[in-house]
Amino acid sequence: MSRAEACRYLFEIIRYSLAGGEVPTIHEGVDWEKLYRICKFHKIEAVVAHGIDKISGKEQIPQEVRKKYEQAWQMETARDTVQHFSLEELLQAFEANGIYCIPLKGIFLKQCYPKTDLRMMADLDLLFRLEQEKEVEEILQQLGYYCDHRDDHHHVYFRKPFMNIEMHYCLVGQNSQFASYYKNPWEKAKPEKGKKYIQQYSWEDFYVYVIVHMAKHFQNGGSGIRSIVDIWQFEKKMKDQMDWNYVETELAKVGLKEFLHHMEKLANIWFEKGQSDAFYDQLTELMVDSGIYGTMENYWIQNVASSDKKVWIGQVKVWLTAIFLPYETIKLQYKYLEKYPIFLPVAWIQRIFRTCFKRKGRAGKVLAEQKTDFSKVRKRQDVFEKLGL
């Protein structure tokens, strides 16, 4: 069984798991270990395990592989239960203490699946007001969390055994092409029923953000199978409940209307037996290779592809950016820049000397990792152009 055939078979199992219908047959030529590795790479073990569990003749699947699927699903069920409890606990504490917040992304996408434990979610994402940062941290510490790290758009908190919370104070980074659209992420939010501080977006605005977030991953390291499953499940459940003209109008404002249409077409090909062609075969290959959050190889290919139409110029630009980091990035390493941004050139020199004398060999290794195959870059530019990115 070829790789393309293995992917089509995987899509059959996912479709059967979530929508029923025609039962996939157990093929003799399936490399079940390889199929499991693809599922793990994309964090879709639970939904595939659910599909396999319903297939008659599953005994033909190697026992050790079936056990891996079962254990992954059990872990996801446990994670789902803990996340549900932790979210309710957190929202109650925020409401009681006057903390404004908006639950985001996977929290609601899970609700579009037949069972919430079929959709893996690594962490809880919530938007909060930066001026309430101190109060948020105090509440989270009282609930047993500690701040693992902070960056330019969110703070990450952790509580054992596996609770991650990402507290976002903006929906996209300051340098994002979508930054102007989300300049005020609170303007379209309304309080949840019976609440004052816990707020929510309309389903339409929520979905616009889902697509923006997906496009961001796609433009960086890539986006994988689960993103297309999310689109398929969300649109099946919400097709008669939303103003789709509004969704298209808003996505047109951020240049993603065409992108959504292609993702919808891909979902139709994968899960509704739609007709593919060379472009969608190429897109499928790219997304299967990307995994859930993308890969570093894809990240550098897409960085070069988006930097300049001339590939060699794009490569040089990427190398220069790696050496002379943007202010918003380098200020996280050199804290004095927040107070004295005029010293940015000094920080660049300091970083270059530090790398050359304290991290010998590291600079060459990093630049070598960023060197890309020009033919792959040209293919990626072609994909980007067709997707409207």
Q: Are residues 258 and 127 in the same domain?
A: yes
Residue 181 lies in a domain: yes
Cβ-count burial of 187 within 10 angstroms (0-12 exposed, 13-18 middle, 19+ buried)?
A: exposed
Q: What is the DSSP string of 38-104?
A: HHHHHT-HHHHHHHHHHSTTGGGS-HHHHHHHHHHHHHHHHHHHHHHHHHHHHHHHHHHTT--EEE-
- Cα 80–Cα 84–Cα 86 angle in degrees, nearest 5: 115
Q: Pick 138 or 27 by higher pLDDT.
A: 138
In this model, does residue 326 exceed pLDDT 80? no
Which domain, by its residues, includes 156?
78-293
CA separation for the pair 16, 272 (Å, rounded): 11
Q: C-alpha 181: how far from its chain's center?
A: 19
* Omega prior to 24 cis, within 30 of 0: no
As given in the structure block, the two tokens for residue 4 are 């393309």
Burial of 156 per CB tally in 10 Å (0-12, 13-18, 19+): middle
Within a domain: 277: yes
pTM of the model as a whole: 0.81
Residue 286 has pLDDT above 60, yes or no: yes
* Same domain membership, residue 304 and residue 215: no
Is 68 part of any domain? Answer: no
pLDDT for 317 equals 61
Does the pLDDT value for residue 269 go beyond 90? yes
More confident call, 152 vs 207: 207
- Lookup: tokens for 203: 């389903």
Q: What percent of the chain has pLDDT over 70?
A: 82
- The percent of residues above 90 in pLDDT, for the chain, comes to 58
Last residue of a domain, one of 293, 325, 357: 293
| pLDDT bucket at 359, cuts 50 / 70 / 90 | low
Please indicate, yes or no, whether residues 319 and 369 belong to a single structural domain of this protein.
yes
Calculate the average pLDDT of the chain: 85
| Count of domains for the chain | 2
133 part of a folded domain: yes
Instruction: Scan for tokens 């977030």, then name that residue.
Output: 213
Given this model, what pLDDT does residue 57 score? 80
Q: Is residue 89 part of a domain?
A: yes
If you average pLDDT over residues 291-302, what whole number do you get? 52
Q: Is residue 10 part of a domain?
A: no
Task: Report residue 301's pLDDT band, with 50, 70 and 90 as the boundaries.
Answer: low
CB 227 within 8 A of CB 357: no
